[in-house]
Amino acid sequence: MKEHFVLLEHDNNIKDLLQKHMLFYKIRRKVSIVPCSSFSVWSVLPSEPGKDKENILQHVMNSKSALFFGSDPRTAKMGWRLIVENQVNPLQIIPDSRLGDIGDYHRHRYTLGLPEGVKDLPPGGCLPLESNLAYMNGVSFTKGCYIGQELTARTHHTGVIRKRLMPVQFLESCEATESSDVVTETRKPVGKLRSCIGDLGLALLRQVNTMEKLFILSTKNSWVQIKAGIPDWWPKDDRNI
């Protein structure tokens, strides 16, 4: 019999919890759920959107080391996902590239306002539409039942989403505690910082307050202004906040 495989990329911090959760819902199906510890996942980010695709595809097609190569399904600005065995150097597959570090990757996606993993999307502490998962091919409105489907579908069809996860930039150098309150100039709470790296971060904000002057309390107990942005990869109708 021909075997079928599905590769699931996940936050490594919840590897055991995720496997346990999926096994709970296996329901006597003949399915094996095992970690693929011999594989590595790489993000291939374009130097200029839309200008590297043909060159990169040619290198990958000529290589026998790539187990998988495909567009990142969340947004074209996140480039591609490359899966190889641990011992393979990705620069041998795409020689015209350079090796960045994890900080480069996180800064890139924070600039785009794209959440990832349990730090940005805490289990039990966020909603899929507030987290913009519908924009990232992460929610289906035609699929059958799944946990939370009724609430998600009702919210989608009513069109009332009061808060959204948005990219923010600190207008001065500071250190901030994640989960800190975001407030207006009059100190009215309008959201919370979800995560940050350097001067960039993600915050869950009330949409009606997005364009106001916003502030967050730094670890030195001083108010620092932050600026929220509206990602240009969102659907056009949802960028008019």
Three-state SS for the chain is CCCCCCCCCCCHHHHHHHHHHHHHCCCCCCCCCCCCCCEEEEEECCCCCCCCHHHHHHHHHCCCCCCEEEECCCCHHHCEEEEEECCCCHHHHCCCCCCCCHHHHHHHHHHHCCCCHHHHCCCCCCCCCCCCHHHHCCCCCCCCCCCCHHHHHHHHHHCCCCEEEEEEEECCCCCECCCCEEEECCCCEEEEEEEEECCEEEEEEEHHHCCCCEEEEECCCCEEEEEECCCCCCCHHHCCC
Q: Is the pLDDT of residue 48 over 80?
A: no
pLDDT score recorded for residue 180: 93
| pLDDT band at 50; cut points 50, 70, 90 | low
Q: Is the pTM of the predicted complex or chain greater than 0.75?
A: yes
Q: What is the pLDDT of residues 130-143, one digit of tens each?
A: 999 999 988 888 87
pLDDT in the model for residue 222: 92
More reliable by pLDDT, 57 or 203: 203
Q: pLDDT tens, 146-201?
A: 778 888 888 887 878 899 999 999 998 888 888 899 999 999 999 999 999 999 99
Q: How much is the pLDDT for 51?
A: 62
